[in-house]
Amino acid sequence: MSNTPDPTPGTPPLAPPDLDLVEETGAVERVIERRRSITSLLPSRSPKLIAGLVILAVIVLYAIVMPHFVMDPRAISTDMLKPPGYGGHLLGTNQAGQDIWAQLAYGTGGSLVIGLTVGALATVLSAFFGVFGAYVGGAVDEGFALFTNVILVIPGLPLTIVIGNYVPVQQRGLFLISVVLAITSWAGSARVLRSVTMSVRNRDYVAAARISGEKTWRVLVVEILPNLIPVMASQLIFSVIFAILGEAGLSFLGLGANGTYTLGTILYFANQSLALTQGAWWWFIPPGLMIALLGMALSLVNFSIDEIINPKLRQSTRAAQRKWGLTPAQIKKSQEENLR
């Protein structure tokens, strides 16, 4: 297999076409053709996916562009605890007269950076412990699996709180918080990746690649990893949500990143200044709403990825059933979709 110039070697070979369906081979070949293109790796377009991506794009753009247009989020003024709209403050001001719209713009960026950093770190960790262990097998696998399961059952946030509290405030930067969150969040993904790797590892084409003398890393990266991409993408998105929520919780307890605005730190200051009892809802509603929107957008994208991983989730929905038994062209189309 190492000599074939197949651009997607991770693709499991399709079953040979039935003799009765020789005239259908053209269709099968077209399907194979489609698999080779990158687009076949992407989720099929669905309202959920589009809605998720649009919300996500708006939030990311907001976090990138908006900080250039707002006033300094630290600038103190005498307009203390003013409701939205007062004196040009779009979302009002806080206890110190700081503009909440500006803080929200900076905070969204901070939360996104933490989310992406943790997501990347946790994915690397889970791939190492899940994929590598399961592929090598034997004592390494046993050891990795035990380690993963132990980390999984030890409650994450309390551990993060304890670690965070022992780090001096000056050293508690954005990156350190991300590392701590990543350390406590990779185990769930690693367990899933391990079970998927186990099943992929035993497929014939992987055995063929091994017997033909391919190096371990090449079998892992070229033969096995492409099959794991949808699962890993889903896990990545999940750990981004986890990280944004975890960071918010940590910041809310006063253990967040020092000197940076995140959505969690805004909520922390709101709670510290008793925004609730003063009725200053404009101080703590927007950051939480932003977290919820971000989480919802990411979950919507995840739904579409889940439908790739588990085709049962996408077949035979009512919408799909209505398609059945209509014009021959549509039947053909749905057949192609089932093959895919």
Partner 1 sequence: MRFYVQKLLFYVAAFWAALTLNFLIPRMMPGDPVSIILMKLAASGQPVTPETRQAIAIQLGGIGEGSWQSQYWRYLGNLAHGDLGVSISNYPVKVTDILQQALPWTITLIGLATVIAFLAGISLGIFAGWKRGSWLDNLIPAATAFQSVPYFWLALVLLLVFSRYLQWFPLGQGYDTMAFPILHPGLNWPFLSSAAYHAVLPALTIVLSSVAGWMLGMRNMMVSTLSEDYILTAQAKGLKPGRVRFTYAARNAVLPSLSGFAISLGFVVAGSIVTEQVFSYPGIGFQMWKAVSNNDYPLMQGTFLVISVAVLGANLLVDLLLGLIDPRTRARS
Which residues of the chain form contacts with partner 1 (CB under 8 A)?
A: 48, 51, 146, 149-150, 152-159, 161-163, 165-168, 171, 188, 241, 245-246, 248-249, 252-255, 267, 271, 276-277, 279, 281, 284-285, 287-288, 291-296, 298-300, 303, 306, 310, 312-313, 315-319
The SS3 assignment for 99 reads strand
C-beta of 76 vs 146, nearer to partner 1: 146
C-beta of 223 vs 246, nearer to partner 1: 246
Residue in the structure block whose two tokens are 């949808």: 230
- The secondary structure of residue 93, as a DSSP letter, is B
Smallest distance, partner 1 to C-beta of residue 155, A: 5
C-beta of 93 vs 235, nearer to partner 1: 235
Name 99's bridge partners: 93
Identify the helix (H) or strand (E) that includes residue 117.
helix 100-126
Smallest distance, partner 1 to C-beta of residue 333, A: 19
C-beta of 208 vs 285, nearer to partner 1: 285
How does 241-278 read in b/e, with b if 16+ C-beta sit within 10 Å?
bbbbbbbbbbbbbebbbbebbbbbbbbbbbeebebeee
C-beta of 209 vs 250, nearer to partner 1: 250
Smallest distance, partner 1 to C-beta of residue 262, A: 12
Structure tokens at 225: 């990893």
Smallest distance, partner 1 to C-beta of residue 1, A: 32
- 236 phi, psi to nearest 5 deg: -60, -50
Identify the helix (H) or strand (E) that includes residue 329.
helix 328-339
Smallest distance, partner 1 to C-beta of residue 58, A: 16
Report CA-CA distances (Å) from 48 to 63, 112, 299, 308: 23, 21, 9, 14
C-beta of 61 vs 313, nearer to partner 1: 313
Identify the helix (H) or strand (E) that includes residue 289.
helix 281-309
Smallest distance, partner 1 to C-beta of residue 272, A: 10
